[in-house]
């Protein structure tokens, strides 16, 4: 719900909004610009899939450091650019993906073993969503199709709906 405050009074601490002014305009920024944060990732709004991908990245880096320290050292040697006071925890090109717009480190294309993902005809930032939505929809769809075949053709309606939802998500 937009709050109703006259923008003239909104940013001036010495003026108290008069009751009449409260119904004259709609706040055009929510939250107000004064509270705006500088984006720290390529997807400032975040979201469930983004959080999942970030968590997956943390787990992957912990695994690499424990199991493949040689790889971690090799990638550190191949890393280009610099990022003062870097807080982005970059091991390889996959880690740069989520912070590309704010981190100074980068990898040459020939040092990115995961570049094949760019050739998948989907935006690379959408890959996590696709995998997640498919993991969610595929079993449900399979179950519905089985019911449609075995029990009643009415299940096809629901199967079609889930299939459509899947298509929309992907």
Tell which residue, 114, 40, 43, 44, has the closest CA to residue 75: 114
* Comparison of 12 and 87: residue with beta carbon closer to Zn ion: 87
* Comparison of 6 and 111: residue with beta carbon closer to Zn ion: 111
In the complex, least distance from residue 102 CB atom to Zn ion, rounded to whole angstroms: 7
Alpha carbon 35 to its chain's center: 22
The answer to the question of residue 103 lying near Zn ion (CB under 5 A) is yes
In the complex, least distance from residue 129 CB atom to Zn ion, rounded to whole angstroms: 24
* Comparison of 29 and 58: residue with beta carbon closer to Zn ion: 58
Here's the x/- map for Zn ion, 11-30, by CB under 5 A: it reads as: --------------------
For 154, residues 6+ apart whose C-beta sits below 8 A from its C-beta are: 148
In the complex, least distance from residue 130 CB atom to Zn ion, rounded to whole angstroms: 27
* Comparison of 103 and 128: residue with beta carbon closer to Zn ion: 103
In the complex, least distance from residue 106 CB atom to Zn ion, rounded to whole angstroms: 10
Tell which residue, 114, 85, 124, 121, has the closest CA to residue 102: 85
Residues in binding contact with Zn ion, number by CB under 5 A: 4
In the complex, least distance from residue 95 CB atom to Zn ion, rounded to whole angstroms: 9
Distance (Å, rounded) from C-alpha 88 to C-alpha 91? 9
* Comparison of 104 and 163: residue with beta carbon closer to Zn ion: 104
The footprint of Zn ion on residues 54-93 (CB under 5 A) is 83, 86, 88
DSSP assignments along 66-95, one per residue: HH-HHHHHHHHHH-BS--TT--S--SSHHH
Tokens linked to 165: 């939802």
Q: What are the beta bridge partners of residue 80?
A: 106
Tokens linked to 122: 């989907």
Binding segment for Zn ion among 102-110, 127-135, 141-149, 157-165 (CB under 5 A)? Answer: 102-110
For 57, residues 6+ apart whose C-beta sits below 8 A from its C-beta are: 94, 95, 98
**Interface ranges with Zn ion (CB under 5 A):** 83, 86, 88, 103
């Amino acid at each position: 719900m937009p709050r109703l405050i006259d923008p003239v009074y909104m940013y001036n601490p010495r003026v108290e909004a008069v009751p009449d002014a409260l119904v004259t305009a709609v706040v055009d920024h929510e939250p107000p610009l004064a509270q705006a944060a500088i984006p720290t990732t390529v997807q400032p709004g975040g979201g469930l899939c983004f959080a999942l991908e970030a968590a997956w990245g943390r787990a992957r880096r912990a695994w690499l450091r424990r199991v493949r320290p040689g790889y971690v050292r090799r990638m550190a040697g191949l890393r280009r650019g610099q990022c003062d006071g870097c807080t982005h925890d970059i091991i390889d090109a996959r880690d740069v993906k989520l912070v590309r717009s704010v981190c100074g480190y980068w990898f040459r294309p020939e040092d990115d073993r995961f570049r094949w993902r760019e050739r998948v005809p989907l935006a690379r930032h959408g890959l996590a969503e696709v995998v997640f939505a498919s993991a969610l929809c595929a079993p449900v769809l399979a179950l519905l199709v089985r019911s449609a075949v075995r029990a009643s053709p009415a299940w096809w309606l629901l199967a079609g709906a889930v299939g459509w939802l899947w298509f929309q998500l992907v």
